[in-house]
Chain A
Amino acid sequence: MSNLPDRSGVSAALPTPLHSRTGPLCRTSNWRRWSGFLAADSYEPSHHREYHAVRAAAALFDISPLFKYRLTGPGARALADRMLTRDVTRLATGRVLYSPWCDARGKIRDDGTLQRLGEDDYRLTSAQPTLGWITDLARGLDVSVSDESEGTAALALQGPLSWKVLAAAGARAIGSPRYFGLTRAPLGGVETWISRTGYTGDLGYELWMPADGACAVWDTLIEAGRDFGIAPAGLAALDIARIEAALPLVHTDYVPAHEALIGAQRSSPFEMGLGWAVDLDKPAFVGKEALRAETGEPPRWRFCGIAIDWDSLERVFWRAGLPPLLPHGAVRSSAPLFHKSRQVGYASSRTWSPVLKSYIGLAHIEASHGPVGTNLEMQITVEHRPARVGVRVVKTPFFNPRRKRATPA
């Protein structure tokens, strides 16, 4: 009993390592709970400036509540390869990959990124606690799995000026990492891992550092970013940006396979538009048999982008004597989609996109109605009454600037 870690408390809403910085900034006290941590929804009364910082300057997010696991040892690669649907064996040191992972039925449990920090040293991020599952999977492999979720803080610096901020903060010397690259640099005197990744579909970086150095890194970035319009940003802004980038959100766009109560709640990577991340040629990974079998059948669902037709939106509101009312931010509740009188799917997230000036959404649609250009109807509520507006299946990502993949000098 005496070897238990000494903690001051176990709380339902722990401060993150950055709370001494984010706390005073959050003037609205608009906190959300994210994996049991306090996370700002927006620092200011409205999320607009924070959102626009993502698309026009640089936004700084505290993403410390992500779960982070460290896989080390000769079996680390084999473990990651067993777990993720993508081929991990070709991931070079200093590179990162995104991948979902599945249960034995080939349905997605979670998704995240795998960073290769060294020869036998990987960091895996996930949205949900996964330690028990990974540990079980590691059986028979010479690998150690440790949970560094609380010991490691994380920041996301996202936006067209993010490299400028990072360079000014001290990363210039190491050079800008390539898209999905990974480097190390001291920032504010703290050794920081910098990955060229993000959840906004923009130019951006994610920074990983020891929890006790997180505030020094934050301060350095805020200081360096002053001339570049840096803004601390919360989850509300992030949610809009990730929909524009067509990045799915667990629990919103899909139910983790192990939490599903009925089969219909589970999605395979193919049904989530992540078929590109399934490598059926690798020798073995969790769910492979099921996924292989699935490729033999026509897909049942597609995960699609939809754009809501403005004219029809205006029309249904006009009939109620109102101007079109747009959602304030991302909407995380589901809206049914119809083809004529038959329901053929549902939108799982939607938002007004300020950068595209368009009302967009992510949707699960029966495959036959999934091709780009298909016209459907979405049910919404207009002045307490159901109404249908036209939507069209469109290409994703909705917003896909060149700088997303660029390597600025």
Chain B
Amino acid sequence: MDFLRPASWEEALAAKAEHPTAVPIAGGTDVMVEINFDHRRPEYLLDLNRIGELSEWEVGEENVLLGASVPYSAIMENLRTELPGLALASHTVASPQIRNRGGVGGNLGTASPAGDAHPALLAADCEVEVESVRGSRLIPIDAFYTGVKRNALAADELIKRVHIKKADGPQQYSKVGTRNAMVIAVCAFGIALHPETRTVRTGIGSAAPTPIRAKAAEEFLNAALEEGGFWESRKIITPSIAKQFAELASGSANPIDDVRGTASYRRHAVGIMARRTLGWTWESYRGEGRSSIEGVA
């Protein structure tokens, strides 16, 4: 095994081009488990820790540019307002020790259907900026997950940062597990209201071979909200709409039975989480409406 320690992004890209089999290591919270248990013996480890810019973020007009190695703990502390869904999801990852090391780049690299960043990223909407010596490209999050623990990266590419839409409305994240800390999701659900475009986006974790959006549920809800004038009136969402949203979300899940839960339990839980998180976010949206009216008065 060789340990490569590029001091800059350019050096890292050059190293990855020269050794496409090199395994990047950021927080190491996935990679080191595999090495410790002899599940993986890479020829080269490509340490990204010396590349400072990967641990930085930038809040722009429309997007947050989140460096691939920004640890979960920093997201929770600093980006709660801009990325509320991702901050909530980050807080459910493992433990403080793991959150001090692990980050979104590693979660995307592993691309596990259970990764907690994914539902939040799908709901918020984002693009993954990847680069190689050949150039850089932006991969829409909807095209990023290509199979069980597979993603759209080419062998010579590295993830530089993620361009995540800044929240323009309330976001929520819900995760089912056996306890509060150190739990891999049995299943998870992320939701983001986008009042500017009058759309709702979702993300489902651990209930299909890849992280997915509940597209049928989104389409139904977007139409129902538009038709009923809910975005302007901010009135309570009719229970029948919420119910159908939940059923459609549950229907878009394609889960399996495994040690953490059965497929039917997961399908059921996705529906419950969809209804609850819609309720929570819509309540905050209504609250924002009230406070802005009071503000004017």
A, B bound: no
